[in-house]
């Protein structure tokens, strides 16, 4: 089982780890590494994978083996490089990319908070927290003539929540009785099952813009963007 250090600290950008399994793909000239613990978040839950290096070797991709509860790190191979179980390696996540992903992801959760505070009868379905085309999708519908007004209201409530959240009211997470990790953006958040990375405080999101509401079959999609995204 790979210990996910980012569960407790999304701003842990460097760490050491031990290799538990190492396989070399001769065709691709890359290593697939399993580590005892990692700071790298693999894509999932609508959030993209982290970028960075393992002992100065570029991480090409990340994959989760849910059956074994491990994360595979596919690493570009420099000439003469090799890895073996028991090796100590050093991990470094690209901080700019991580912070970007965390802001977008937390902003998506903020959409949920705003929708709930407005009393909208939307049931969360899926989300897409990539820099291009971020959205949160819900089971539900909104009349065409009301979509622009509701989009503006969601944006207003979301940004008001950012401004009114106390500086001491930090983003928190805990593990529920069934082992699921729950994330709370603030004390007024009822919590959401989540395996991704987040800001430490909602004010780091700065400002969100709800660009539009779109009907997708039986779903309503809330499209959003985040200001000053590097």
pTM confidence score: 0.94
- Residue 26: exposure state from Cβ atoms within 10 A (0-12, 13-18, ≥19): exposed
- Structure confidence at residue 121 as a pLDDT band (50, 70, 90): confident
- Angstrom distances, CA of residue 185 to CA of 5, 30, 104, 108: 19, 38, 13, 11
- Asked whether the predicted pLDDT for residue 57 surpasses 80, the reply is yes
- Angstrom distances, CA of residue 196 to CA of 8, 55, 102, 212: 11, 24, 8, 25
* Residue-level pLDDT at 181: 93
Domains and CATH numbers, the chain: 3-93 (2.40.30.130), 97-226 (3.30.980.10)
- Asked whether the predicted pLDDT for residue 150 surpasses 80, the reply is yes
Burial 111-125 (b: 16+ CB within 10 A, else e): bbbbbeeeebebebe
* Residue-level pLDDT at 127: 96
User: pLDDT by residue (tens digit) across 29-53?
Assistant: 899 999 999 999 999 999 999 999 9
* Residue-level pLDDT at 66: 85
| DSSP helix/strand/coil, 125 | strand
* Residue-level pLDDT at 67: 83
pLDDT, averaged across the chain: 95
> Is the Cβ–Cβ distance between 111 and 154 less than 8 Å?
yes
User: pLDDT by residue (tens digit) across 68-118?
Assistant: 799 999 999 877 788 999 999 999 999 999 999 999 999 999 999 999 999
* Residue-level pLDDT at 199: 98
CA gap 46, 134 in Å, rounded: 9
Q: What is the largest CA-CA distance in the chain?
A: 64
Q: Looking at residue 47, what DSSP letter applies?
A: B
> Is the Cβ–Cβ distance between 63 and 23 less than 8 Å?
no
* Residue-level pLDDT at 225: 97
Which residue, 210, 17, 186, is CA-closest to 111? 210
From 18-27, 37-46, 71-80, 165-174, the region with the lowest mean pLDDT: 71-80
- Asked whether the predicted pLDDT for residue 189 surpasses 90, the reply is yes
| CA gyration radius, the chain | 19
- Angstrom distances, CA of residue 197 to CA of 63, 123, 153: 16, 22, 27
- Residue 130: exposure state from Cβ atoms within 10 A (0-12, 13-18, ≥19): middle
Mean of pLDDT values over 207-219: 94
CA gap 74, 59 in Å, rounded: 6
């Amino acid at each position: 089982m790979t210990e996910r250090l980012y569960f407790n600290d999304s701003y842990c950008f460097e760490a050491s780890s031990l290799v538990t399994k190492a396989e070399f793909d001769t065709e691709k000239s890359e290593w697939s590494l399993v580590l005892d613990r990692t700071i790298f978040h693999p894509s999932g839950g609508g959030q993209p994978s982290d970028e960075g290096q393992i002992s100065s070797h570029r991480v090409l991709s990340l994959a989760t083996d849910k059956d074994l509860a491990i994360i595979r790190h596919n690493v570009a191979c420099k000439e003469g490089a090799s890895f073996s179980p028991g090796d100590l390696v050093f991990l470094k996540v690209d901080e700019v990319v991580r912070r970007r992903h965390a802001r977008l992801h937390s902003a998506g959760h903020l959409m949920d908070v705003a929708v709930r505070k407005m009393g909208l009868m939307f049931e969360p379905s899926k989300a897409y927290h990539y820099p291009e085309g971020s959205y949160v999708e819900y089971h539900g519908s909104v009349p065409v003539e009301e979509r622009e007004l509701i989009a503006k209201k969601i944006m207003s409530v979301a940004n008001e929540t950012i401004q009114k959240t106390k500086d001491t009211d930090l983003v928190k997470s805990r593990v529920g009785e069934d082992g699921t990790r729950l994330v709370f953006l603030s004390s007024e958040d009822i919590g959401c099952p989540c395996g991704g990375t987040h800001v430490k405080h909602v004010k780091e999101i700065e400002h969100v813009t709800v660009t539009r509401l779109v009907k997708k079959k039986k779903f309503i999609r809330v499209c959003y963007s985040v200001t000053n995204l590097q």
